[in-house]
C-alpha cells in the first residue's frame, strides 16, 4: 500500500501523525489477514509498534505486510513501514509492527484459519520466532486480567 503524505496528515514538525501510521498498518494488516483466510477478521492485539524514523510531508508512505504464523483461529501479521522520497526514489525503513487478528464466521464467532508456509528467509525467521511472541502476548493478557480481578476485589 502506498500513499502520499499531505500537510493534513502531519503534526507541527511536518511529519506524519503516529496515529495515522497506525491506522494504515491496521488497514493493510486486515487486508493481509482476510486475503489469507478469505473470511472477516478483527484486530485482537498490536504486540509492538516501533517507529524508527519520521515520514515527512511530500514523501510517500509505503507499507508491506504478510502473515507470519497462524494458530487455530488467529493470525500474526508483520508490517514493515517505509517512506520514499519521490524525487530521488530513496527509501527508508520507518517502522515495524506485529498484529494479531482472529477470523470470524458468519455468526461472528472465531473460526479456524489455514496454516502458513514460510518461503523466504525473512518469512522463515518471523515464523520461527512467532511462538515466543504468542507466549508473551498470552502472558501479558493473563497479567492484565489478573490485575483487573485484583482491582475489582478491592472496590
Collapsed DSSP state (helix, strand, coil) of residue 35: helix
User: What's the distance, Cα to Cα, between the start and end of the chain in Å?
Assistant: 47
Task: Domains for the chain: give ranges and CATH numbers.
Answer: 2-117 (3.10.129.10)
C-alpha pair distances (Å), 79 with each of 26, 84, 111: 9, 16, 23
| 105-135 pLDDT tens trace | 999 999 999 999 999 999 999 999 999 998 9
SS3 sequence of 68-127? EEECCCEEEEEEEEEEECCCCCCEEEEEEEEEEEEEECCCCCECCCCCCCCCCHHHHHHH
The answer on pLDDT for 155 being more than 80 is no
| φ and ψ at residue 150, rounded to 5 degrees | -65, -40
| 60-108 pLDDT tens trace | 999 999 999 999 999 999 999 999 999 999 999 999 999 999 999 999 9
Q: How confident is the model at residue 149 (pLDDT cuts 50, 70, 90)?
A: confident
The bridge status of strand 2-4 relative to strand 41-51 is unpaired
* Residue 41: all three cell numbers together: 477478521
How many beta carbons lie within 10 A of that of residue 150, not counting itself?
9
Nearest Cα neighbor of 55 from 98, 30, 91 is 91
Q: How confident is the model at residue 47 (pLDDT cuts 50, 70, 90)?
A: confident
For cell 483461529, the residue is: 73
Amino acid at each position: 500500500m502506498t500513499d502520499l503524505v499531505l500537510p493534513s496528515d502531519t503534526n507541527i514538525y511536518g511529519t506524519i501523525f503516529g496515529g495515522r501510521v497506525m491506522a494504515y498498518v491496521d488497514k493493510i494488516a486486515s487486508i493481509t489477514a482476510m486475503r489469507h483466510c478469505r473470511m472477516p477478521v478483527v484486530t485482537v492485539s498490536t504486540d509492538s509498534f516501533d517507529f524508527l524514523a519520521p515520514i515527512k510531508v511530500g514523501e510517500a508512505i509505503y507499507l508491506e505486510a504478510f502473515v507470519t504464523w497462524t494458530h487455530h483461529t488467529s493470525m500474526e501479521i508483520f508490517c514493515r513501514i517505509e517512506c520514499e522520497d519521490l524525487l530521488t526514489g530513496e527509501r527508508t525503513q520507518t517502522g515495524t509492527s506485529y498484529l494479531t487478528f482472529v477470523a470470524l464466521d458468519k455468526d461472528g464467532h472465531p473460526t479456524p484459519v489455514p496454516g502458513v508456509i514460510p518461503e523466504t528467509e525473512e518469512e522463515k525467521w518471523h515464523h520461527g520466532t512467532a511462538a515466543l511472541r504468542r507466549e508473551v502476548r498470552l502472558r501479558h493478557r493473563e497479567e492484565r486480567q489478573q490485575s483487573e480481578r485484583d482491582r475489582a476485589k478491592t472496590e
